[in-house]
Structure 1
Amino acid sequence: MAKAPVIEEKQLRHMLKVAAVTGESPTRDVALLYVLYGTGMMLTEVATITVRDYLREDGSIREESTIRAAIAHRSKERPVFWVNPKVVSALDAYLATRVNLRHGVTVRKAAFRGLDPDGPLFRRADGEPYVLTARESSSGALSYSCDSLSQVFRRLHLQSGIRGGHALAARRTFAVRLHRKGYDLRHISALLGHGTLTATKKLIDSDPVKLADLVSGVI
Structure 2
Amino acid sequence: MAKAPVVEEHDLRRMLKIAAVTGESPLRDVALLYVLYGTGAMLTQLAQLKVTDYLTEAGRVRRDSVIRAEIAHNNVERPVFWVNAKVVAAVDAYLAFRASSGQGVTTRKAAYRSLDPESYLFLRADGEPYGLTARRSASGVVNYSCDSLSQVFRRLHSQAGVEGHALAGRRTFAVRLYRKGYDLRHIAALTGHRTLTAVRRLVDSDPVKLGDLVSGVV
| TM-score above 0.5, yes or no | yes
Q: Distance in 2 between matches of 1:67 and 1:170?
A: 16
For residues 43-93 of structure 1, what are the alpha-carbon distances to aligned partners after superposition, in whole Å with 9 as ceiling and x for unaligned?
100100100000000000100001110011211101100000000000000
| 1:202 equivalent in structure 2 | 201
- The amino acid across from 1:188 in the alignment is I
| 1:110 equivalent in structure 2 | 110
Q: Distance in 2 between matches of 1:39 and 1:126?
A: 25
Q: Distance in 1 between matches of 2:103 and 2:213?
A: 46
Give 3-state SS (helix, strand or coil) of 1:143's partner: strand
- The amino acid across from 1:192 in the alignment is T
- The amino acid across from 2:178 in the alignment is H
- The amino acid across from 1:2 in the alignment is A
- The amino acid across from 1:138 in the alignment is A
1:179 aligns with 2:182: no
1:7 aligns with 2:13: no
**Cα 1:23–1:178, aligned 2, differ >3 Å: closer, same or farther?**
same
How many residue pairs align between the two structures? 215
| TM-score normalised according to structure 1 size | 0.95
What percent of counterpart residues are identical? 72
The gaps in structure 2 that reach 5 residues or longer are none
Mapping of residues 54-203 of structure 1, within 5 Å = 54-163=54-163, 165-203=164-202
For residues 8-53 of structure 1, what are the alpha-carbon distances to aligned partners after superposition, in whole Å with 9 as ceiling and x for unaligned?
0000001000000000000000000000000000010010010000
Q: Distance in 2 between matches of 1:166 and 1:12?
A: 12
Q: CA offset at residue 101 of structure 1?
A: 1.1
For residues 144-180 of structure 1, what are the alpha-carbon distances to aligned partners after superposition, in whole Å with 9 as ceiling and x for unaligned?
01000000000000000012x1221000000000000
- The amino acid across from 1:8 in the alignment is E
| 1:25 equivalent in structure 2 | 25
Cα RMSD for the two superposed structures: 1.4
- The amino acid across from 1:27 in the alignment is L
The gaps in structure 1 that reach 5 residues or longer are none
Give 3-state SS (helix, strand or coil) of 1:209's partner: helix
Give 3-state SS (helix, strand or coil) of 1:110's partner: coil
Q: CA offset at residue 139 of structure 1?
A: 1.3
| 2:44 equivalent in structure 1 | 44
**Cα 1:212–1:197, aligned 2, differ >3 Å: closer, same or farther?**
closer
Give 3-state SS (helix, strand or coil) of 2:208's partner: coil
- The amino acid across from 2:27 in the alignment is T
Q: Distance in 2 between matches of 1:210 and 1:45?
A: 29
Q: Distance in 1 between matches of 2:213 and 2:115?
A: 46
- The amino acid across from 2:40 in the alignment is G
Q: CA offset at residue 107 of structure 1?
A: 0.6
Give 3-state SS (helix, strand or coil) of 2:100's partner: helix
